[in-house]
Structure 1
Amino acid sequence: MSSYEQPLYDCQTPSLDSTEQSVVESIDQDRMWDSVEKFSSLTRISGTGGERKAAEHLTTVLSDHAVSHTVHEPELYLSTPVSATVTATDRTECFKSAKTVAFSDNDSVSGEVIRLRADEEGDSVESLLDHSLNIDDVAVEDKVVVAESLIPIAEIRALAARGAAAFIAIHPHDREPHEGIISPVWGGAPTFEEKNEIPEIIVANISGDDGDKLDALIENNPSLSLTVSTTVDTRWVRCPLIEAEITPTQTATDEFVLLHGHYDSWHVGVTDNATGDAALLEAAIALSAHADQLTRTVRVCWWPGHSTGRYAGSTWYADTFANSLNENCLAHVNVDSPGVKDAVEFTSRVKWMTAAAPVAIGTITDVTGKQTETRRPSRAGDYSFNNIGIAGLSLQSSIEHSVREERGYHLVGGSGGHADAWHLSTDTLEKADPATLKRDADVYTIATYRLASATHCPLDYRLTIAEHQQTLETLKKGSSELGLEKEFSRLEETYSELAAKVNEIYEQENHSFRNLQPLARTLTRINYVTDKTFEQDPAVGRPPLPALAAIAHPPNDTDSKRFLAWGARRSYNALTYELRSVLAQLPAN
């Protein structure tokens, strides 16, 4: 069997109970593929007629199957790339693959080229966003900066702050650069205090082939001047946001599970995310047919504004329903890029918070027989609920690494690792597969069903505490160097007390999420964000226990070390206080 012919399942039959088997039998592969085919003819840029036609299809199918739903119409702050040109200023050469990006400046500039060499982008989505262009000692003012990259958000901000005229990214794709967005502001619209966080700089991307051509010009003329022009449509746009609700018929409850994905796209976006939208429809239909088995409501949402608004739709929802989410949402399940042709493994692109590991791993194994592993979610995708503290999981299948290498694929941020699909005009119908989509829809639906039908709390926060303790141990040496042994020990002891108490709770047969909710919110927040509960951290990577992360590598300079210690002591105090407050809220034996 060749690497292109690996099986979709590593088991003869799924290991499901009779109700779960009935749920997956309710998922109609042909009906699901009909939705994919419908979406494959629609360019679903948010704020356009194509997006509205997609919304009409979703609501029609929901109505046909008597699934209760609401269409919200939020106004979102979106930035749609229109066009870009990159030419030699003397007009001897034009780079025809040029595209601009969401939230680029809308202008034209000319300037001398400065060619930088970027660090390797690594093997994760965060590495695509956070890698260095090594600009610290480079004079970039009024220059057109050129580097191999996809979209280094932090470095683009630094270039703008230092007065660079423009940034041109040479993409690894030979023919067409990937679409993208440069603003770090989560949700598109900045708050009043954040309005200066959107970088003011012209950005254009060109293909790998055009990059080779540009490098040849630079080699022949080191003082080459380029003219870069961009047109970007940045404004407030009203968009449909669809929310279906499946309420248990046998149980009264305020608790719910949020199942979601974006339905806007770059181009026709078949694998990103027409397949996900079809899977969400089938999940809603199947779960509605089994509402008598649910103990929690399931909300199913289709987001606009994901692509051109940095997850604007899910951010609007997080803001608008913040208190309900905080009080009652058990978990969120993000459906993105299922059903990619040849996506046979569940190791490269899966991501979930540790508490969700039993549900995620158990579901993938039981439905597919495939092996998987826990991967930390990056600060990307529609994980717009981190600041509230809601555990999230995304069960993305992927093309095997060996196959991607064999095909010459470079690292991309979705589409199952398909580098000729993600954020490209070639993300078309042949990149997806109906049988793969059926398997992936089964996985997402059963994971949601297990979360929404459990009589106890199906998330295991003992695992989260253990994860925090492991992270804390990596900070022991740095804490000692900074003279923070006492603060370290106090937090370490607090985690030990918390672990003992939470173990007692989980030993009770019907441990409830309601009793664990304060713990769940706090553990998730302090492990993923640094801003407040009802704010949004920027789209920049966050290490585990981010408030303490700098302690791992104290600076050598005496003053810098003492400054770090000054702030780290406050962080230790804050985390200890938060955890001891949670400890006091946990139920007595």
Structure 2
Amino acid sequence: MIDPPALGISAGRMHALVSELCAPGRKLAGSEAEKTACAIIARELAAAGVACTVHEFEAFIGWPTRSEVTLLGAAPRAIAASGVGMAAGTPPGGIVAPVSERGEAGCIALIDGLPRYDAIMAAQRAGAVGVVAVSHGPERHYVEASPLWGAPTGAGDLAALAQIPAVQVSQEDGALLRARPGAAIRLVAEARREWRPVRMPVADIPGESPHFVMVGAHYCTWGPGATDNLAAVAMLIELARLFAAGPRRRHGLRFAFWTGHEHGGYAGSSWYADQHWAELRDHAIAYVNVDIVGVRGGTTKALRNTTAELHDFATGVLDAMAGPLPDSEKAFVAHALRRRDMYVAPTRSARNSDQSFCGIGVPSLQVSGFLPAASPEHMPGSGLAWWWQTEQDTPDRCDPAELATDTAIHHALVSALTGAEILPFDPVAMVDDVLASLREYAEAAPELAEIAWLQTLAEQVRTAAVALAGRPATDAAGRNALLMRVTRLLNPVLHHGSSNHDYDLGRISRLLPGLSPALGLAGLPPDESRMVRVGLRRRANRIADALQAVLNLLRSGE
């Protein structure tokens, strides 16, 4: 049974910090409110006796500044709206066009749900001049709509951003617009996209070895941000206080407080990966992302964003601390985390939540506090609460007791990782992910020789990984070096399509993404098919290179 006070965890102290951090309101990356929150974090770390460095750099940030919809006519009616980060802006006076659910050219498209990038771009391709998204309830969510991961690197990246404005309105106001098809509306969606200086605190607690576990949480917010994500910030500070006061760990700890999470498409964590690439490659044992914890009613502890090699370890710790989830909750979590892959576990790392370190090969894990399936308060089809990324994410939405429980779970995960003599990595599970992904590609393009070649090579790697798992480690340092090297070889090809150092466009989660063009190969015109096959061969060569290197490594042993 979890007993947070026995570990020295203070629910009251954490909740008081959540309230203080909420007070400045929206903590937009680069704003004065961010500066205030950064100072609070630095103050708390100093009080805990933990050295902190505040990194200052320029990030590309996008945010809405003024949003409103007006239903025109004899008696114009103003409708409240929430803007969209990274979407295009309107002139100050807005734009006027008919509203339409069919999304015809020249209209303002009316869509359901969150105004994410793919939905906005679909409307843009159809010729719509703007988008009004309709929420599932009375709340209005803030989101970002960008295919970029981190900062743009050229004109092509900027051109990929949405060129039309977008907002979200409540369900009730959406029904009002639906009742007036073709009616003229004025859409005001003033927005900014620009480079601006930001701040990002990072703190270290050294261990006996040069290796460390990195624990991260974004501290920028759309609204007050109690559960997304200031509860996580309070947890990191509580963990830092506990580990700093305890005995020196075998491996060190690094606490990172990301900025530009949605405002910059993971600008902070991607900048950190770029700037500390070699250090993270050589010394980072794992990345523990903390996002959506301490949620009122969040009793379903959901494993997510977890790479294969850490899955069994994280599941074991989570089950021991919180108990296994009932089958009904497992099914609910699987649905909430659904992916595009047919045969890949939904708990695998996805393209969200500051997962900026897969190209380096760093293993990752995350445990979030989801609302259970029966809760009336979650967003449809999601474990997230309805107040996620709204102005209603206030301190009362954060449950101190639930936050203390989540902190105890993370304390157990981090304790096990920083105290491990042999790192709890499972290379067999990694290769199983390779084979699961190849299975779908083989079914879509059975004639593609490269897929069969990769399957044969992966099976050989799996045999060697099984043999390694059956051999006791006679040299802990040697076994750990081997395991870390395997993760550095396989994770980049599992999660990045073309390069270890660059980020793919879009937010679609799929393993071995470099091979994804194989899914649409059938039926392509001959010349287009030829070009796609050239690209697939190059991506297959990259994957094969990683698999062969792992095979050689496993056969040589530690």
**TM norm structure 2:** 0.88
Q: Which residue of 1 aligns with 2:365?
A: 393
Among candidates 61, 69, 72, match of residue 86 of structure 1: 69
Q: Which residue of 2 aligns with 1:378?
A: 350
| Residues in 1 aligned to 2:198 and 2:524: alpha-carbon distance in whole angstroms | 51
Superposed CA deviations along residues 41-98 of structure 1, whole A, max 9, x for unmatched, are 2212222222222212211111112111111112222122111121234473334221
Contact 1:109 1:227 in 2 (8 A): yes
- 1:562 positional shift: 5.9
- CA 1:542 to 1:91, structure 2 compared with 1: closer, same or farther past 3 Å? farther
| Residues in 1 aligned to 2:129 and 2:379: alpha-carbon distance in whole angstroms | 32
Find the residue that maps to 1:427 and give its secondary structure.
coil
Among candidates 390, 398, 403, match of residue 375 of structure 2: 403
Contact 1:183 1:310 in 2 (8 A): yes
Contact 2:224 2:391 in 1 (8 A): yes
| Residues in 2 aligned to 1:77 and 1:570: alpha-carbon distance in whole angstroms | 31
- 1:344 positional shift: 1.1
- 1:426 positional shift: 0.8
Q: Which residue of 2 aligns with 1:296?
A: 251
Question: Are residue 471 (structure 1) and residue 443 (structure 2) matched?
Answer: no
Q: Which residue of 1 aligns with 2:289?
A: 334
Q: Which residue of 2 aligns with 1:17?
A: none
Among candidates 294, 314, 322, match of residue 360 of structure 1: 314
Deviates most, 557-566 or 74-83: 557-566
Contact 2:493 2:546 in 1 (8 A): no
Contact 1:154 1:540 in 2 (8 A): no
Match for 1:236: what amino acid? W
Among candidates 541, 551, 554, match of residue 583 of structure 1: 551
Question: Are residue 179 (structure 1) and residue 151 (structure 2) matched?
Answer: no
Find the residue that maps to 2:244 and give its secondary structure.
helix
| Residues in 2 aligned to 1:290 and 1:156: alpha-carbon distance in whole angstroms | 50
5 Å-filtered alignment, 1:30-49, equals 30-43=12-25, 44-49=27-32
Find the residue that maps to 1:401 and give its secondary structure.
coil
- 1:505 positional shift: 3.2
Q: Give 5+ residue unaligned stretches, structure 2.
A: 331-344
How large is the Cα RMSD of the aligned pairs? 2.5
Identity level (%): 23
Contact 2:116 2:144 in 1 (8 A): no
- 1:516 positional shift: 2.7
Question: Are residue 422 (structure 1) and residue 382 (structure 2) matched?
Answer: no
Superposed CA deviations along residues 468-487 of structure 1, whole A, max 9, x for unmatched, are 2233233333343xx23x43
- CA 1:478 to 1:308, structure 2 compared with 1: closer, same or farther past 3 Å? closer
| Residues in 2 aligned to 1:95 and 1:190: alpha-carbon distance in whole angstroms | 39
**TM norm structure 1:** 0.84
Q: Which residue of 2 aligns with 1:515?
A: 482
Contact 1:261 1:302 in 2 (8 A): yes
- 1:575 positional shift: 1.9
Contact 2:498 2:514 in 1 (8 A): no
Residue-pair matches, total: 530
| Residues in 2 aligned to 1:297 and 1:587: alpha-carbon distance in whole angstroms | 30
Contact 1:115 1:147 in 2 (8 A): yes
- CA 1:88 to 1:37, structure 2 compared with 1: closer, same or farther past 3 Å? closer
Q: Which residue of 2 aligns with 1:159?
A: 123
- 1:331 positional shift: 1.2
Q: Which residue of 2 aligns with 1:122?
A: none
Q: Give 5+ residue unaligned stretches, structure 1.
A: 1-11, 15-20, 117-137
- CA 1:475 to 1:47, structure 2 compared with 1: closer, same or farther past 3 Å? closer
Superposed CA deviations along residues 514-554 of structure 1, whole A, max 9, x for unmatched, are 22333212321222221311112234213222222343565
- CA 1:541 to 1:295, structure 2 compared with 1: closer, same or farther past 3 Å? same
- CA 1:350 to 1:570, structure 2 compared with 1: closer, same or farther past 3 Å? closer
- 1:192 positional shift: 4.4
- CA 1:76 to 1:552, structure 2 compared with 1: closer, same or farther past 3 Å? closer
Find the residue that maps to 1:258 and give its secondary structure.
strand
| Residues in 2 aligned to 1:335 and 1:13: alpha-carbon distance in whole angstroms | 19
Contact 2:71 2:79 in 1 (8 A): no
Deviates most, 468-477 or 430-439: 468-477
- 1:563 positional shift: 5.7
Q: Which residue of 1 aligns with 2:188?
A: 229
Contact 2:209 2:252 in 1 (8 A): no
Superposed CA deviations along residues 196-247 of structure 1, whole A, max 9, x for unmatched, are 11121111211111100001111xxx3x222212222332222221101010
- 1:158 positional shift: 4.1
Match for 1:230: what amino acid? A
Contact 2:361 2:492 in 1 (8 A): yes
Contact 2:227 2:292 in 1 (8 A): yes
Among candidates 117, 134, 142, match of residue 170 of structure 1: 134
Find the residue that maps to 1:376 and give its secondary structure.
coil
Question: Are residue 240 (structure 1) and residue 240 (structure 2) matched?
Answer: no
Among candidates 98, 122, 130, match of residue 81 of structure 2: 98
Q: Which residue of 1 aligns with 2:162?
A: 199
Match for 2:135: what amino acid? H
Q: Which residue of 2 aligns with 1:132?
A: none
5 Å-filtered alignment, 1:67-86, equals 67-86=50-69
Match for 1:182: what amino acid? A
Q: Which residue of 1 aligns with 2:97?
A: 111
- CA 1:252 to 1:464, structure 2 compared with 1: closer, same or farther past 3 Å? closer
| Residues in 2 aligned to 1:310 and 1:70: alpha-carbon distance in whole angstroms | 23
| Residues in 2 aligned to 1:208 and 1:360: alpha-carbon distance in whole angstroms | 39
| Residues in 1 aligned to 2:388 and 2:497: alpha-carbon distance in whole angstroms | 30
- CA 1:365 to 1:231, structure 2 compared with 1: closer, same or farther past 3 Å? same
Match for 1:515: what amino acid? L
- CA 1:571 to 1:60, structure 2 compared with 1: closer, same or farther past 3 Å? closer
Contact 1:76 1:236 in 2 (8 A): yes
Contact 1:359 1:450 in 2 (8 A): no
